[in-house]
């Protein structure tokens, strides 16, 4: 599996569908999402990320979601397994488990809740995970959820580690993204996680995107990646940004599920507490944004 090549396209951070009655993971619905992504030439999948509500999954559920993803893609695209944790040991455990299942890489954030109390804290945290992980690591900068950003200087330092291959940036800060890109080697993959900035990032040299909206509109996101450097790229970015704005209001896990339900891909947009489903007026807004895009 050519991980470096796959990270030059569009990766989907998978939703985790739930049965609305039992709240169990809806395995057939998850498989249906993945099948549709493969049909639309998505380059990689990322289960158990923020959009996948990993923080609301029990450890055995995280394992099962990874197993389903690996089985469903059947070697067609890489699986980037979510391994975010607050301790080195736990992150390594998730990475080891993902390797046993057959995933191709692990995705890690800085530690959350007890954040780094000095600049070198995140560096030590990430390097110690990388030293012990059997899988290559993709770093994930999402300060809104972790309470801190991965400083450009930190990313520059850890990018020299043989087992750290790139960064997904969901900060929404294009200046930060470009700063990290200037500081890291050409082979270090820079992936834009803020859908509304995908075209600007690609035009500035980004390798690809990890985009929640690709769950619901994969055909448009893959076309955007292919045609970003032209008028069609501008048109698609404008339309994607409209859907992005609608989804951002309600949170991307609930909104992506609403969009998938609207398109008939999953039977329910159920989420787990503390998240709540998108209200009726929001569902209408998201539906209208999808209609404008497709």
Question: Over the chain, what HEC string results?
Answer: CCHHHHCCCEEEECCCCECCCCCCECHHHHHHHHHHHHHCCCCEEECCCCCCCHHHCCHHHHHHHHHHHHHHHCCCCCEEEECCCCCHHHHHHHHHHHHHHCCCEEEECCCCCCCCCCCHHHHHHHHHHHHHCCCCEEEEECHHHHCCCCCHHHHHHHCCCCCEEEEEECCCCHHHHHHHHHHCCCCCEEEECCHHHHHHHHHCCCCEEECHHHHCCHHHHHHHHHCCCCHHHHHHHHHHHHHHHHHHCCCHHHHHHHHHHHCCCCCCCCCCCCCCCCCHHHHHHHHHHHHHHC
Assess whether 228 carries a catalytic annotation.
no
CATH number for the segment(s) 3-228: 3.20.20.70
The ranges assigned to domains in the chain are 3-228
pTM: 0.96
Tens-digit pLDDT profile for residues 136-167: 999 999 999 999 999 999 999 999 999 999 99
Catalytic residue among 94, 112, 168, 176: 168
Assess whether 227 carries a catalytic annotation.
no
Catalytic residue among 94, 140, 176, 262: 140
Tens-digit pLDDT profile for residues 191-215: 999 999 999 999 999 999 999 999 9
Per-residue pLDDT of the chain (294 residues; tens, 9 = 90+): 678 888 999 999 999 999 999 999 999 999 999 999 999 999 999 999 999 999 999 999 999 999 999 999 999 999 999 999 999 999 999 999 999 999 999 999 999 998 999 889 999 999 999 999 999 999 999 999 999 999 999 999 999 999 999 999 999 999 999 999 999 999 999 999 999 999 999 999 999 999 999 999 999 999 999 999 999 999 999 989 989 998 899 999 999 999 999 999 999 999 999 999 999 999 999 999 999 888
């Amino acid at each position: 599996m050519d991980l470096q090549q796959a990270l030059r396209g569009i990766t989907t951070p998978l939703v985790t569908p739930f049965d609305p009655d039992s709240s169990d993971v809806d395995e057939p619905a998850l498989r249906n999402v993945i099948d549709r992504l493969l049909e639309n030439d998505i380059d990689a999948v990322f289960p158990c990320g923020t959009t996948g509500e990993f923080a609301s999954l029990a450890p055995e559920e995280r394992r099962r979601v990874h197993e389903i993803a690996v089985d469903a893609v059947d070697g067609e695209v890489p699986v980037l397994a979510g391994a975010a944790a607050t301790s080195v040991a736990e992150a390594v455990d998730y990475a080891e488990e993902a390797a046993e299942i057959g995933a191709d890489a692990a995705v890690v954030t800085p530690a959350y809740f007890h954040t780094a109390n000095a600049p070198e804290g995140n560096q030590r945290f990430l390097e110690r995970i990388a030293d012990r992980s059997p899988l290559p690591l993709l770093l994930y900068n999402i300060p809104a959820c972790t309470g801190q950003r991965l400083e450009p200087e930190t990313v520059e330092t850890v990018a020299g580690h043989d087992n750290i291959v790139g960064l997904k940036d969901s900060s929404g800060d294009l200046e930060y993204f470009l700063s990290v890109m200037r500081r890291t080697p050409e082979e270090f993959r820079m992936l834009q996680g803020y859908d509304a900035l995908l075209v600007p990032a690609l035009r500035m040299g980004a390798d690809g995107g990890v985009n929640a909206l690709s769950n619901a509109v994969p055909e448009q996101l893959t076309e955007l990646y292919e045609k970003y450097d032209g008028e069609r790229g501008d048109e698609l970015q404008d339309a994607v940004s409209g859907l992005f704005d609608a989804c951002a209001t309600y949170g991307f896990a609930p909104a992506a599920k609403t969009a998938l339900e609207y398109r008939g891909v999953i039977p329910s947009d159920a989420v787990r507490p503390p998240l709540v489903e998108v209200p009726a007026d929001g569902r209408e807004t998201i539906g209208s944004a999808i209609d404008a895009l497709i």
